[in-house]
Amino acid sequence: MMVSVLMITYNHEKYIRQAIESVVDQECNFSYELIVANDCSPDSSDGIINEVIRSHSKGNLIKYIKHSQNIGMQLNYIDAYHKCQGKYIATCEGDDYWTDPLKLQKQVDFLEANTEYVMCFHQVDILKTDGAVVDDFITVVPENYETIETLARLGNYIHTPSVVFRNVLNGFPIEFELSPIGDYFLYMLLAEQGKLKYLEQKMAVYREGVGVWSREGDYFKNFNTAYTHALLVRHNNSNNFISALLLERIIGFVKTYKNRIDKEVLEKLNTCIKVNQSFYHYFLDNNKIELGLSETIQMKTSKELLVEVWLRIKKRLWIE
């Protein structure tokens, strides 16, 4: 099997048919399969999926998983991933769709010819809530985009329906299961294995305003991003350079929302000692005078000072 297309879906009854048909209508000179993983959708998605399997001339390409209970997005993805048999894995969620019947062929051809690349992705159009299909206004692919360093420094610039990657992950860390942003975490895991390639061809459509991420407000999006970064710091504990880039983004969130964050938010972001130390230095630098730290206290050991400052910060920020 050359390619497994992984499609997770939940409550996509309006879109799932178009998503599935855009995948099974691919024109390839290799074998591929479509894994559809329905996370116990309460809508009519199940009936639509089964009808497509029965009626479509390529319905035999579809392997359908229907969970009897809702297990959540990341566990649904992990379960489907372990059922993928392909040398490569492509992704398309149930509310997006592909527009180029040669998409898989083009991406597989590139990866077959360029073994130093672990993943390739491409341009997409955006389908707005008013029905207009427009150029991508959500992401900007930067220069020097190919490495994990750029991905860590700038965040996600890759759309899910554009991705094809080598089936090289033997499993997923617990941090991936906890992450509210699975696609970015996945790309960081893959970027540990090789370079990323951007193909400047529009071959898919991302539907704006449909998924959970599209519906969230800016604060919650940025918190979920910061929490994902904090989980990635814990995962990348031995890589000080990558951790430092991620920590900068976490502190950026704290600075931006310093008047809104509370004890619960900071404690959730505090996933490991590196995040803890980053908070310590940030609050120390910004509160040294206001906290009234004496020279004696400042001469304490790092661990003792951390405890002292943290206690004073808590008293200052949170009335306990």
C-alpha neighbours within 13 Å on the C-beta side of residue 209: 7
What average pLDDT does range 44-60 have in this prediction? 98
Q: What percent of the chain has pLDDT over 70?
A: 87
**Structure-model confidence comparison of residues 166 and 288, the more confident one:** 166
Which CATH architecture describes the domain 3-212?
Alpha-Beta Complex (3.90)
d(CA 4, CA 151): 25
Shortest CA distance to 243 belongs to which of 272, 282, 281? Answer: 272
What average pLDDT does range 90-111 have in this prediction? 99
User: Residues 227-249: pLDDT tens digits?
Assistant: 999 999 999 988 999 999 999 99
Domain boundaries, the chain: 3-212, 218-317
Return the pLDDT at 226: 97
User: Residues 253-270: pLDDT tens digits?
Assistant: 988 988 888 778 888 998
d(CA 46, CA 22): 18
Return the pLDDT at 279: 83
Judge residue 59's burial from the number of C-beta atoms within 10 Å of its C-beta, 0-12 exposed, 13-18 middle, 19 or more buried. Answer: middle
C-alpha neighbours within 13 Å on the C-beta side of residue 73: 15
